[in-house]
Structure 1
């Protein structure tokens, strides 16, 4: 049986299933993720886009991300829960918000990325590798 991860929004209007193991997971400290999450970083897991099935209609907005790629940020239009991001330049990648997973502990991050933008007061002694920019995918 293949690995499967489910999740959705706070109000239940959006549900999804990823029928694959994550390609990786990161704590992203880029300035764009700080704005989008309302916090000092965003916890994200990378899945093959073809493995994702979704019920409900997401809304999205697009921005130029820190690396210059076009990031589409998808959220529930009813409760506002951030669900995922996609990159116009990498359409086969689904970047899921770990907090939207039903079992967020099942997908631990493997590194910190965009640490050049990490807020100065955040002290995280978790032993994870710290990268100045994007994760290798």
Structure 2
């Protein structure tokens, strides 16, 4: 069992088992959402996750045109998990919210045409 939490600990998501996929996204929306140059998501089967605490939601279209509903803590503002419309059987969890340096590395890299020129993907080492 893995637990991801917001910065204040009010919103948690419990994930049973290993992620199906860990993806690093360079899209401009992930850059804006994280305040970094990319976002990293771990995708788990929907029936293997359970949210605890209160969340507000924000829904928007992805760069690819599919809707995504983000769940974030109303107290500290951390974006903890989201529901991608194009993957209805999955929940995506912000890898940083696990606060686990041993978490599996990304295996998929997307929107690389939006990657900052000085940024390096882990597989390019």
**TM-score, scaled relative to structure 1:** 0.82
In 2, the alpha carbon distance for the partners of 1:88 and 1:111 equals 19
State how 1:42-61 maps to structure 2 within 5 Å: 42-61=39-58
CA-atom RMSD in angstroms? 1.6
Gap regions ≥5 residues in structure 2: none
- Kept in 2: contact 1:20–1:48 (CA 8 A): no
Find the counterpart in structure 2 of residue 34 from structure 1: 31
State how 1:1-137 maps to structure 2 within 5 Å: 4-122=1-119, 124=120, 126-127=122-123
How much does 1:105 deviate? 2.5
Gap regions ≥5 residues in structure 1: 129-137
How much does 1:102 deviate? 4.0
In 1, the alpha carbon distance for the partners of 2:45 and 2:101 equals 18
In 2, the alpha carbon distance for the partners of 1:72 and 1:127 equals 29
SS of equivalent residue, structure 2 residue 31: helix
- Kept in 1: contact 2:4–2:93 (CA 8 A): no
For this pair of structures, how many residues does the alignment match? 124
How much does 1:23 deviate? 0.5
- Kept in 1: contact 2:22–2:43 (CA 8 A): yes
Which structure has more RCO (C-alpha within 8 Å, separation ≥ 6)? Answer: 2
Aligned CA distance change for structure 1 residues 125 and 64 (closer, same or farther; 3 Å) = closer
